[in-house]
Amino acid sequence: MFKTVLKWKLIICASLLMQFQFPAYSQTKIERSFIYSQAELSQVVELTSNFEVILTVKKKIRVFNQDGLDHAYIGIFHDEFTSIEKFRGEITDPKTGKRIDRLKKKDLTDVSRISNMSIYEDSRISYYELKTGRFPIEVEWEYTTKTDGNVGLPIWRPAPNDHQRVSSSYFKIIYPNHLGLRYKAENIGESPKITHKVGITQLEWELKDHFVLEEPDEEDEIMIKFAPNHFSMEGYSSNMETWKGFGQWIQKLNKGKSVLPEKAKTKVAELIAGREKEVEKIRVLYQYLQDNYRYVSIQLGIGGLMPMSATEVFAMKYGDCKGLSMFMKALLQEAGIPSNYTLVKAGEDAGEVEADFSSNQFNHVILQVPLEKDTVWLECTSKTLPAGFLGDFTMGRNVLVINEEGGALQSTPKYNSTEFNQITINSQFSLLENGNAKVLQTKTMTGLAAQPYVNRYFWQDREDFEKFIYHDLGYSGAHIEKYDLKIDKMKNVPIAEFEHETFLQQFYQSTRKRIIITPKFHKVNSRDIRNHFLHWEEKLNILNLEGMEIESAAPDLSLSEELFEYERVLLFEASELKIGRTVNLHFSEETEEEDIDQVLKKIEKLDSQPIFLKK
């Protein structure tokens, strides 16, 4: 049985669906409100003895309204290894059964799938988008692709869209016994129907009458993942049953790639001259990489998996994550420091690599430098991170370290303390007439907190960066008159210092007898808590309060609870109002999002305490 972890909304909808009986083309108003389409899906995967993967997909989608048009989107990926062998389709009016149009391969639009940061890739997509205001309408299509190499196999997602009723979803995979196959089912408990023929095994699954109202969380999604035991690509073969075997395949791809030309060897000797400590050598070589080489992705054929050689990177002054990591490995090797090419599943919101299912789950490469008393991790595509700091793009992940024996799973640092996530803000507000003010502010961000400013400063244009600044400051009626960003990457963690001078409208309220000031502390958001920890210190100095005295203000506060500490102090002297606020957040990995939200709302309420001053 499928796990009963689906949300209550899904259960309610499933019961409603049984009542509706799904007539051929008429819908009630209730049905139209949450059912966009109805689907019949079939997917057959055949693995051949020469490591080909033949995929045949059949889909019939009945679209009930405008929102369901996306469900009828036809997209077929192909590249140097994958070819579209055949395609056919048709569009039908389900009310009359008459065919409206017939689709052929020439009707598909074929475009390059060049990703961000790539200058060229051979990855392409042939697609067709249904555009109509006529409902209901039915689209049926079938295609077959052939892939040379079985490094990666299709994932079966039997219910691919929310707001879609899946009448039936069928999956079959056929493979030669000598190749072997493993699978991992997520949120589906049924065992497959297994058929054995001479030298061949066939596995089949089928899901019927299924409906999902909202896109499920990743841990709730129904899917089955597959991986071969024996695999090959362009003549490079290995066994994927263990991480060691997969690592041995990466070793084959990397063989001979870490050789430096003589000119590069001379440069290494020049850079490390007079430096005795390994850490110093690592830093100076990493700095050389960051200052002189840029990240450019060129994904062509097996080059999407095989790195450029260190010689090529040295000559061209660019490379992708694989090429730059290999080049850095070669630099360190020349300096007498061994390092390990390392595969990682990168991304702020990337799911964890499944340790119990050895397969190609990775999308990025970094470098591990194992020293006697420490391990230094290097993100070789970054121009801003200090040596040894990975940031949230790859922190706290299972990674495959390619070593002499093959591959072994290890973990990158989690940075789970406030040392790696700190914000300090010092603000001086000069009160002007009519409730306006001018603020001189310095925001110092350490570790993970520095990343948003540093990354956007380097990768966004000026206009987009300034939009980000305004949004981050959170002041209404603000006009930034000037700003400056300083970046320090010479310490163990990055530090960014942002200074600005800004004019503020309606900073305070003024009446005949008093003025009212609500301290403008920066709002703490969940996105600021990148490692479950955060130390945030903020000091406000408000000037030009001559002849005034405090009439009413919240008392100083020191609060300590299970998930956070909060302290606020206020001092008024010499016509200057000084307010300080310190927040320490320390959540565990098991802390629920709802609990985090409740803490942040409580902090926001504590921050928003008005101060009344008499004239």
DSSP string, 484-510: EEEEE-SSSS-EEEEEEEEEESS-EEE
> What's the pLDDT score for residue 123?
84
> What's the pLDDT score for residue 9?
33
- Per-residue tokens: 322: 């694989």
Question: Phi and psi at residue 422, in whole multiples of 5°?
Answer: -135, 145
Which residue, 18, 16, 11, is CA-closest to 30? Answer: 16
- Per-residue tokens: 124: 């392409």
> What's the pLDDT score for residue 459?
86
Which residue, 544, 533, 575, is CA-closest to 433? Answer: 544
- The answer for 406, left when phi > 0, alpha when psi is -120 to 50, beta otherwise, is left
Give the tens place of pLDDT for each residue, 420-429: 999 999 999 9
- Per-residue tokens: 244: 């060691």
> What's the pLDDT score for residue 250?
97
> What's the pLDDT score for residue 458?
86
> What's the pLDDT score for residue 217?
78
> What's the pLDDT score for residue 299?
67
The number of angstroms, rounded, from the C-alpha of 68 to the middle of its chain's C-alpha atoms is 27
> What's the pLDDT score for residue 118?
46
Q: Are 415 and 448 in contact (CB under 8 A)?
A: yes
| Cis-peptide, bond into residue 160, ω within 30° of zero | no
Q: Are 38 and 163 in contact (CB under 8 A)?
A: no
> What's the pLDDT score for residue 220?
85
> What's the pLDDT score for residue 214?
85
Give the tens place of pLDDT for each residue, 541-550: 999 999 999 9
Q: Encode burial over 538-558: b for 16+ CB neighbours within 10 A, e otherwise.
A: bebbbeebeeeeeeebeeeee
> What's the pLDDT score for residue 348?
78
Give, as one character, the DSSP assignment of residue 419: G
The number of angstroms, rounded, from the C-alpha of 86 to the middle of its chain's C-alpha atoms is 34
Which H or E run includes 10?
Answer: helix 8-20
> What's the pLDDT score for residue 20?
36
Mean pLDDT by 10 residues, the chain (615 residues): 35 33 48 85 98 98 96 96 97 96 97 61 89 96 98 96 96 98 93 96 96 82 96 96 98 97 98 97 98 84 82 96 97 98 91 94 96 96 95 95 96 96 98 96 97 91 95 93 94 95 95 93 93 97 94 96 97 94 96 96 95 95
> What's the pLDDT score for residue 476?
87
What's at 390, amino acid-wise? Answer: L
The neighbouring-strand residues paired with 172 are: 44, 204
Give the tens place of pLDDT for each residue, 226-274: 999 999 999 999 999 999 999 999 999 999 999 999 999 999 999 999 9
Q: Are 24 and 94 in contact (CB under 8 A)?
A: yes
> What's the pLDDT score for residue 115?
53
Which residue, 288, 338, 337, is CA-closest to 313? Answer: 288
d(CA 381, CA 188): 39
Sign of CA dihedral 62, 67, 69, 73: negative
Q: Are 603 and 561 in contact (CB under 8 A)?
A: no
